[in-house]
Amino acid sequence: MLRKIQDFIGREWKKILILMIVAVAYQVFSFSFLYKVDPDLARDSYQKLGGFFKYAAKGIIEFTITYYVLIWLAWLPLLQKRKVSRFFLIIVLVFAVKAGYSLLFEFKNVNFKVDPSQKGLSEFILNHKMAFYLISMGVAYMLTLLVCLVVAVIIDFNHRSKRQKELEKQKLDAELSAIKYQINPHFLFNSLSFIYSKTVPLSEEVSNAVLLLSDIMRYALGKEEDAEGKVALEKEITHMKNVIEINQMRFNNKLSIQYAEQLDNPRARITPLVLITLVENAFKHGDLLDPANPLVIRTESDERQVRFYIRNKKKAGPRELSTNIGLNNVKQRLQLMYADKHTFNITDNEHFYTSELTINL
């Protein structure tokens, strides 16, 4: 438990420190304002509550915890993930804890000073002290919720702006890399076209392989992305099928591959070259010559989700050295593009390697 508390403070100390500084300023301002309006009431009120320093210390701790919970555990998850039930549960629990503590330890010491000129209100306050106290707490709590909402909106906006800048920077880096190699692809496509024209009369299989290779490179180096850096799912799948087919040609159609798809929404927009990276990993590290354990690939899409599943048997014997660059790139791109709107799970055991990706549209 102590270790978890230390880890929490290590991660969140900046947020906690900022809230504590604001809490100190709030306590000083409240006391100064009340003292200026009615010095006797201020002295009497703080005396009954244990003195200024004791009450202020309690107030700083309460303020820090309340605002941290409401901002980072209630409002931000609601704004980012639409977790309505969790939001209402937290705000009700926070109010219940605050009200319960105040009624048990502070209510009996509160100075209900009333204005005799306002007879009706004065009678209500004196005859219904607990009701008035709870109503006052409720109004103050609503103001606290409003302030927390404003702070959470600012934090969320800042987070989204930073994420957008990261995406724009990544896209710019990719475009600069493409510009650097602009001459080579142009030369390569011309060369492939020449080779294709020469091989058509000689071998249909070879000419088809050249055509497939040309399509694969055109997709990988082309400008298929929209303004958000996404492509239609059907284009990504066509590219994946081309890679599968050219690998089958390399191994004389001896690879055991079981592919299935159900595309109710083939035009769903996804980040490109993610699915193919997972397929290429399977070709690189998998044993695809065992009919009893084929490479299994499943792609599904509807109006809400894109789901991708791939499972391969591992090669026996010494493993090929892997840098995990491709996989790390996939994780980074998914996180930047979808954040909490995706799940990516990998199951790596002794004999099989499985990847499951779900993207919420």
- Tell me: the pLDDT tens digits for 280-292? 889 888 999 999 9
Report the pLDDT averaged over residues 4-16. 83
pLDDT, mean of residues 241-263: 89
Residue 56 lies in a domain: yes
Q: Which among 155, 171, 187 is the end of a domain?
A: 171
- Please state the domain count of the chain: 2
Residues 53, 149 share a domain: yes
With a cut of 90, say whether residue 1 has pLDDT above it.
no
Place of tokens 């076209």: 193
Q: What is the pLDDT of residue 263?
A: 93
Please report where in the chains the tokens 């080779």 appear, as a residue.
195
**Greater confidence, 51 or 89?**
89
Name the range with the highest mean pLDDT among 107-116, 130-139, 298-307, 328-337. 298-307
Residue 195 lies in a domain: no
Of 151, 171, 191, which residue sits at a domain end?
Answer: 171
Same domain, 142 and 9: yes
Split at pLDDT 50, 70, 90, the class of 133 is: confident
Summarize pLDDT for 190-241 with one digit per residue, the tens: 666 667 666 767 777 777 777 777 777 777 665 566 777 788 999 899 988 9
Burial category of 164 from C-beta neighbours within 10 Å (exposed 0-12, middle 13-18, buried 19 and up)? exposed
Residue 36 and residue 137 in one domain: yes
What distance in Å separates the CA atoms of residue 180 and residue 52, rounded to the nearest whole number?
Answer: 68
Given a cut of 50, whether residue 20 has pLDDT beyond it is yes
Same structural domain for residues 272 and 159?
A: no
| Same-domain pairing of 14 and 139 | yes
Dihedral angle computed from the Cα positions of residues 149, 155, 158 and 159, in that order, rounded to the nearest 10 degrees: -120
Do 146 and 266 belong together in one domain? no
Q: Is residue 8 part of a domain?
A: yes
Question: Contact, 230 vs 269, CB < 8 A?
Answer: yes
Give residue 272's pLDDT.
85
**Chain segment 31-80, per-residue pLDDT in tens:** 788 778 778 767 776 776 677 788 788 889 999 999 999 999 999 988 88
Listed in sequence order, the DSSP H helices in 181-256 are 183-199, 204-221, 233-250
- The verdict on residue 119 lying in a domain is yes
Tell me the pLDDT band of 345, cut-offs 50, 70 and 90. Answer: very high
Judged by average pLDDT, the poorest of 73-82, 85-94, 149-158 is 73-82
Q: How confident is the model at residue 172 (pLDDT cuts 50, 70, 90)?
A: low
Average pLDDT over residues 163-172: 75
Residue 88 CA neighbour count, 13 Å, CB half: 3
Q: What is the DSSP string of 107-133?
A: GGG------TTSHHHHHHHHH-HHHHH
| Of residues 39 and 263, more confidently modeled | 263
If asked whether residues 122 and 20 sit together in one domain, one would say: yes
Is residue 71 a part of any domain in this protein?
Answer: yes
| Cβ atoms of 290 and 256 closer than 8 Å | yes
The reported pLDDT for the residue numbered 118 is 62
What is the reported pLDDT for 251?
85
Model confidence at 247, in pLDDT bands (50, 70, 90)?
confident
What CATH number should be reported for the domain holding residue 327?
3.30.565.10
Are 158 and 10 in a shared domain?
Answer: yes
pLDDT given for residue 21 in this prediction? 92
Q: In which domain, by residue range, is 299 found?
A: 252-360
Distance of CA 321 to the CA centre of its chain: 31
**Residue 236 in domain:** no
Q: Which residues pair with 343 in a beta bridge?
A: 358
> Residue 153: pLDDT above 80?
yes
- 183 confidence band (pLDDT: 50, 70, 90): very low
> Last residue of some domain: 139, 171, 203?
171
Rounded percentage of the chain residues whose pLDDT exceeds 90? 29
229 domain-assigned: no
Q: Is residue 230 part of a domain?
A: no
Across the chain, mean pLDDT equals 82
Looking at the fold, whether 135 and 13 belong to one and the same domain comes out as yes
pLDDT at 176: 54
Q: Which are the contacts of 207, defined by CB distance < 8 A and separation ≥ 6?
A: 196, 199, 200
With 90 as the cut, is the pLDDT of residue 353 above it? Answer: yes
Least confident of 177-191, 272-286, 338-352: 177-191
- 257 and 166 co-located in one domain: no
* Global pTM exceeds 0.75: no
Task: Please check whether residue 265 is in contact with residue 303, taking contact to mean a CB–CB distance below 8 angstroms.
Answer: yes
pLDDT score of 321 more than 70: no
Q: In terms of domains, do 263 and 354 share one? A: yes
In this structure, are 161 and 258 located in the same domain? no
Q: Quick one: what percent of the chain has pLDDT higher than 70?
A: 82
* Cα separation values, 151 from 55, 73, 96, Å: 26, 13, 23
